[in-house]
Structure 1
Amino acid sequence: MHSSLPNPERVDFAAKQREFTDYIRDPDNNPPPTDAPLERVAVYRELLFNNINGFLSSNFPVLFSLLEAEQWNALAQDFFVKHRCESPYFSEIPEEFIAYLQNERNQEGDFPFLVELAHYEWVEMALAISKDTLAINADYANLAARTVALSPLAWPLAYQYPVHKIAPEFIPDSAPDQPTFLVVHRNAADDVVFIEVTPMTYQLLAMIQAQEQVVAGDCLQQMAQASGHPNPELIVAGGLQILDEMVAKNIIAVVA
């Protein structure tokens, strides 16, 4: 005869994990796990939060410098509680933080430029670790007839606030009348460089980016026509000069 032993109670591990992680994220609004010593859970929570907090402060140094310690910790804690990261990689936490600011953050008293400043700071890291390669332009004679494309390591950006100037000594409380246009690119030395550009330069780069590849002269004609300028040839000439400068910096690649 075979004796039968009672089956041990089956544990729902998924439920246990949710119980544990919910408390780790937000101990003020979730019950503690019933089968783990609270002091050990507290140590684990502190280590995890400090990792996230440290990664945020190192990747958003300007924003970090603008906030009091209590304000920064509250912001990091709110991100820790509310946002469900889609990526398991620490290097993608800054992008997850941007998504949180855009979609989940709704706190009265935040800087009006909070999202733009954070995005500006994220761009530097994103380009620094990008796996794209820089195409070096060796020959760009007769540029108007050449096919060009925006380098994948160059991003034209438009912001309501002058994010590149914001610092503890300069904290704007309202957006200026004119937006700020920037080009951020990684150069041949692998340095990430920010350049403030004119609206015309931004428009030209954005047009090239939208078309992926375009004959330079055709793009300049499109821009001149869209401008409604009484002397479109001036727009073409000015645009060609801009193109020449951007090609020299490898911000625009000559592909054919």
Structure 2
Amino acid sequence: MAADFKTKQLEFTRYIREPLKNPAPTDVKPERMAMYRELVFNNIESFLAGNFPVIRKILDNQQWFELTQDFFSKHKCKTPYFSEIAEEFLDYLENERSNPDDFPFLLELAHYEWVEMALSIAKEDVHANQEISDDFLNRTIQLSPVAWPLVYQFPVQLISPEYLPLKQPGQPSYLIAYRDQADDVKFIQINSMTYRLLEIIQEHDRITAKNCLKQVAEESLHPNPDVIITGGLQILKELLEKTVISSYETG
């Protein structure tokens, strides 16, 4: 009985995944199987369209259907939770999708869109706004758990039906995505220096502002490191005001 049930279950799910390649169960009415198939696929398709709205806009109906159907039929999701399907879609694009006709920025764009959803439901708390103290340089700074430095080879933040770059620009796009105290997810385009500052903070977990600025100044090989330190200090203060970073007494 158990073996027979498993066989029927596989027959049922294989048809729902790929009705053109797998026969429908003979003991279920065709119209009922069609209803099951439509219900399950439409739920997945609707969820993906809601989480990847830009990808949905830049693809025509046929392209979108083929993409979602390919994911639906080939990818074996490891989670029963709808909120984690978007991450499964990323895994599919990175490790299973192979279509030379895809836009070259498809994976990066999907990651960029996923970040917003992932940050919005992240369980970590947002740092409270903090005043900039007189001894800020000597205080320990830390990256907010809901602030993510991002770098993309394509300007994913600009992609739209009117802008579909097929070649990588000369410079990557640096962004910071973070959730503020109102629980709104925001993206800020940053320069390479700001990205490196955030990277250093992330690498050390906790580091004094002075040491962070000293490291980035040394790495820059600038003939006047004070210029880098002064500019970097202003950047860190702005990040503190936005709750991207927090500061603590060094102890």
| TM-score, normalisation: structure 1 | 0.92
Q: Which of residues 84, 94, 98 is equivalent to 2:86? A: 94
Partner of 2:148, secondary structure, is strand
Q: Which of residues 193, 196, 213 is equivalent to 1:220? A: 213
Q: Which of residues 186, 191, 194 is equivalent to 2:184? A: 191
Greater CA drift, 12-21 or 148-157: 12-21
In the alignment, the residues of structure 2 paired with residue 138 and residue 10 of structure 1 have an alpha-carbon distance, to the nearest angstrom, of: 61
- Note the residue ranges of structure 2 that are not aligned, 5 or more in a row: none
Q: Which amino acid in structure 1 is aligned with residue 245 of structure 2? A: I
In the alignment, the residues of structure 1 paired with residue 85 and residue 101 of structure 2 have an alpha-carbon distance, to the nearest angstrom, of: 24
Equivalent residues of 1:148, 1:253 under 8 A apart: yes
Q: Which amino acid in structure 2 is aligned with residue 102 of structure 1? A: E
2:4 aligns with 12
Equivalent residues of 1:147, 1:216 under 8 A apart: yes
1:71-122 CA-to-partner distances (Å, cap 9, x unmatched) read 1001000000111111111111111111111111110110011011111111
Q: Which of residues 79, 97, 109 is equivalent to 1:117? A: 109
2:98 aligns with 106
Partner of 2:25, secondary structure, is coil
Q: CA deviation at 1:138?
A: 2.6
Q: Which of residues 136, 139, 160 is equivalent to 1:143? A: 136
Count matched residues. Answer: 248
Residues 217/46 of structure 1: CA separation in 2 closer, same or farther (3 Å cut): same
1:67 aligns with 59
Equivalent residues of 1:146, 1:216 under 8 A apart: yes
Equivalent residues of 1:137, 1:254 under 8 A apart: no
- Note the residue ranges of structure 1 that are not aligned, 5 or more in a row: 1-8
1:169 and 2:159 aligned = no
Q: Which of residues 50, 64, 71 is equivalent to 2:42? A: 50
1:158 aligns with 151
Greater CA drift, 235-244 or 34-43: 34-43
Partner of 1:204, secondary structure, is helix
Q: Which of residues 191, 197, 204 is equivalent to 2:197? A: 204
Q: CA RMSD in A?
A: 1.4
Higher gyration radius (CA) = 1
In the alignment, the residues of structure 2 paired with residue 188 and residue 10 of structure 1 have an alpha-carbon distance, to the nearest angstrom, of: 52
Q: Which amino acid in structure 2 is aligned with residue 137 of structure 1? A: N
1:128-186 CA-to-partner distances (Å, cap 9, x unmatched) read 11111111133331211111111011111001111111111111111110110011111
Q: Which amino acid in structure 1 is aligned with residue 196 of structure 2? A: Q
In the alignment, the residues of structure 2 paired with residue 110 and residue 11 of structure 1 have an alpha-carbon distance, to the nearest angstrom, of: 41
1:83 and 2:93 aligned = no
Q: Which amino acid in structure 2 is aligned with residue 125 of structure 1? A: M
Greater CA drift, 217-226 or 147-156: 217-226
In the alignment, the residues of structure 1 paired with residue 234 and residue 185 of structure 2 have an alpha-carbon distance, to the nearest angstrom, of: 23
| TM-score, normalisation: structure 2 | 0.94
Q: CA deviation at 1:10?
A: 6.1
Greater CA drift, 18-27 or 62-71: 18-27
Greater CA drift, 183-192 or 72-81: 183-192
Equivalent residues of 1:151, 1:251 under 8 A apart: yes
Q: CA deviation at 1:11?
A: 4.4
In the alignment, the residues of structure 2 paired with residue 241 and residue 11 of structure 1 have an alpha-carbon distance, to the nearest angstrom, of: 67
1:23 aligns with 15
Q: Which amino acid in structure 2 is aligned with residue 140 of structure 1? A: I
Equivalent residues of 1:182, 1:202 under 8 A apart: yes
Greater CA drift, 81-90 or 232-241: 232-241
Q: Which amino acid in structure 2 is aligned with residue 200 of structure 1? A: M
Q: Which amino acid in structure 2 is aligned with residue 180 of structure 1? A: S
Q: CA deviation at 1:33?
A: 2.3
